[in-house]
Every structure is written in structure tokens, then in C-alpha cells.
Amino acid sequence: MINFADFEKKTKIIFKDKNLLRQAFIHRSYINENPSEGLSHNERLEFLGDAVLELIVTDFLYKKYPNYTEGDLTAVRSALVNAVIISEIASKIGLNDYLLLSKGEAKDNGKARQYILANTYEAYVGAIYLDQSYEVANKFVTASLLGETEEIVNKKLWRDAKSLVQEKAQEFALVTPAYKVLNESGPDHDKHFTVGILFGNTMIAEGKGKSKQEAEQKAAEAALKVKNWLE
């Protein structure tokens, strides 16, 4: 039996409705495997939490960057509130240890787990909003997620790295970057890719990810750093 009291101590958010807290961690697969428990999965909470999270982030960015256009603010928000970053934050604060999953899902630590963690973070934000208040949800998101904003803005990660490196490569190197899969490993449900980015025949950098697209983005980010094109 998972002891959510430990998680409450860690986050310093003590729920009035313990069932609501538990529900935030229940994946649909767990319900399918344990129908007799009479529980509900976290998808409605995720729906609510997604909206609360978007408002918190939007309000923060609107006030922090008064000179940014609507398009810039939207791009920064998208870079901040995406499955990769949110799943990393969810792992850091220990959400992975409290997930209620089917036995099959529990064994999968690939891209599917990444999305489950991101969705659970949103469901937990929704649960905080319902059980506590918007202010408490705001404090939680500020403490756990909004600290990532500076890096995203300073490194221009809010701009799509592949688009930016193509723009810079065409301007300064007179080439269009190409991507090549260097290595592919792991079973189908947990693939890992290493992709290289080339300017002509020259390998500039490599990136790793759980999909070719993610690895290409990482390679593009690495190339921007190598070429000092982030300033």
C-alpha cells in the first residue's frame, strides 16, 4: 500500500481529502486491472490541472517579460509546459514513487512513462487547486517548475532548436543541416536513439532521446552550443 503521507510531508501540502490526493496518482490502467476497488482514474483532474497550470505559467510570464510579444510568450510557455520538462520535474519531486499503475505499465520506463508522469503532475496540480486553493497551487508550481524559465529564456530554448540551427547554419555556414541516426537500442517500448547533426560531411554534434525527433532536437541544441549561436 502506497503511503501518501510521506509525499505530503515532502511537499508540505497536507490534503483535507486524502481520496482526492490518491486519485491524482491513479492511471487508467490501474483501474482496468483493479475494477473492484471502486476508484476513479486521474484524467478529469489532469484536465483541470492543465488549465490551472497554464493560467499560472501565463500570468507569471506576462508579468516577468513585459516586452515580449504574444507569439514570444506563447513559445516560451510551450517550451516550459511540455511533457519532457514536466516529467523531469515530476521525477525530481518523487511522483514516480507514488504512481498507481497496472503491472504492465509499471514495467515500462520509456516514453510512455514520461507522458504518465507529466499527466500526473497536472492531475496533482488540479487536486491541489480543488483541495487547497489557487494560491497553494500557484506556490507549488512556482517552487517546482517556474525556476526552469531562466534557462529556457537565456539559452533561447523557447525557440525550436532545429529551426534556429537551420537559420544560423544557412546564414553563417551556407549549408542546410542534415540529421543521421548513429545508434538505436532497446526494445520497442523503450527505444533510445543517438542522432548526429551534419553540416555537409562534417559531424557537428550528437543528441540522445527516446524518439528520433527528441534526439534531433538535442543534437540541434548541442550544435547551437558548439557554434556559440545561442547569444
Which strands sit side by side in the sheet containing 192-199, from one edge to the other? 178-185, 192-199, 202-209
Q: Is 122 an annotated catalytic residue?
A: yes
Q: What is the CB neighbour count within 10 angstroms for residue 105?
A: 18
Q: Is 50 an annotated catalytic residue?
A: yes
The single residue of 37, 108, 122, 188 carrying the catalytic annotation is 122
Closest CA to 148 of 89, 192, 102, 206: 89
122 known ligand binder: yes
CA dist 56 and 168 (Å) reads 33
CA dist 230 and 202 (Å) reads 20
Output the nine-digit C-alpha cell for 62: 506576462
228 known ligand binder: no
CB distance 215 to 157 below 8 Å: no
46 known ligand binder: yes
The backbone torsions φ and ψ at residue 26, rounded to the nearest 5 degrees and listed phi first, read: -90, 115
What's the start-to-end Cα distance of the chain, in Å?
A: 50
The single residue of 8, 37, 50, 206 carrying the catalytic annotation is 50
Please state the residue numbers annotated as binding site for Mg(2+): 46, 119, 122
Please state the residue numbers annotated as binding site: 46, 119, 122
Q: Which residues are catalytic?
A: 50, 122
